[in-house]
Amino acid sequence: MTEELVLTLGQETVKTMLLLSAPLLICALVVGLGVSIFQAVTQINEATLSFVPKIVAIVITLIICGPWMIDVISKFTVGLFDNIVNYVR
C-alpha cells in the first residue's frame, strides 16, 4: 500500500461520510432554526421543545433519503471489496 493509495482511500471515505451525513445535518439545522425563530417570536423558553420536531424531521429525511444512502454506502463498500487485491499488494 502506497501513501498515495492511503490518502486516496481516506479522501474517498471522508467524501462518502460527508455525502451521507449532509441531508440529516441540513434537515436538523433547518428545523432547529425554525424552532428557534418560533421560540423567539412566541417567547417560549423551553429547551426540550426543539427535540421532537428534529427527531420527526430526521426520521422523515431518513425515510426519503434512506434508499439513496444505502446505495451510496453499498457502492463504496463493493468498490473496497473489489479492489482489496490492489490494496494488499
The domain segmentation of the chain, as residue ranges, is 14-88
- Where residue 48 falls among pLDDT bands split at 50, 70, 90? confident
Look up the pTM and report it: 0.81
Closest CA to 21 of 74, 82, 68, 80: 68
Cell of 81: 471489496
Q: Would you state the pLDDT for residue 26? A: 97
| Interatomic CA distance for residues 79 and 60, integer angstroms | 29
What is the distance of C-alpha 20 from the center of its chain?
4
Please state, rounded to an integer, the average pLDDT across all residues of the chain: 92
Which one is predicted more confidently, 43 or 23?
23
User: Which amino acid would we find at residue 58?
Assistant: I
Closest CA to 64 of 24, 16, 13, 14: 24
Q: Would you state the pLDDT for residue 20? A: 96
Mean pLDDT in residue range 46-55 = 87
Is pLDDT at 88 greater than 90 in this prediction?
no
